[in-house]
Amino acid sequence: MATEETTLPTTEDEWRIRLDPDEFRVLRQAGTEPAWSGEYVSTKDEGMYRCRGCGTELYPSDTKFDSHCGWPSFDDAIPGAVKEIEDRSHGMTRVEIRCANCDGHLGHVFKGEGFTPKNTRHCVNSLSIRLDPK
């Protein structure tokens, strides 16, 4: 699990310096970008998707698929790169996904929808990731 940034911020004020306001809202405050607004919703370029907060490799581009949900979708993450946490916000129970390295909010994971043979959809905010083209 390669990372670009070796020294992570230790306070939220340091994160505010590293990230722009929209990135901070999503990565550090578990916000969500509006559907269909993210730069990677329709991207089909090859490469590696990395955490925008710390540079950790999260998703190879060959795991990305079009789920028509309005956010980039991946059917699998690099083993150990993403952690799952129960999310009971907004009156529902979901599974939040976070970068295992910097604890940045990525989005949510849904299972059992039948989109791919792995039957898993990582629904990720474009503001949480950055594509490192092949």
- Summarised one tens digit per residue, pLDDT across range 16-55 is 999 999 999 999 999 999 999 999 999 999 999 999 999 9
In the numeric block, which tokens belong to residue 58?
Answer: 């999260």
Q: Which of 51, 54, 99, 123 is catalytic?
A: 123
For residue 127, what pLDDT is reported? 98
The verdict on whether 54 is a catalytic residue reads: no
Mean pLDDT of the chain: 93
Rounded to an integer, the average pLDDT of 58-67 is 97
For residue 1, what pLDDT is reported? 45
Does the pTM surpass 0.85? The reply is: yes
For residue 48, what pLDDT is reported? 98
- Summarised one tens digit per residue, pLDDT across range 72-124 is 999 999 999 999 999 888 788 889 999 999 999 999 999 999 999 999 999 99
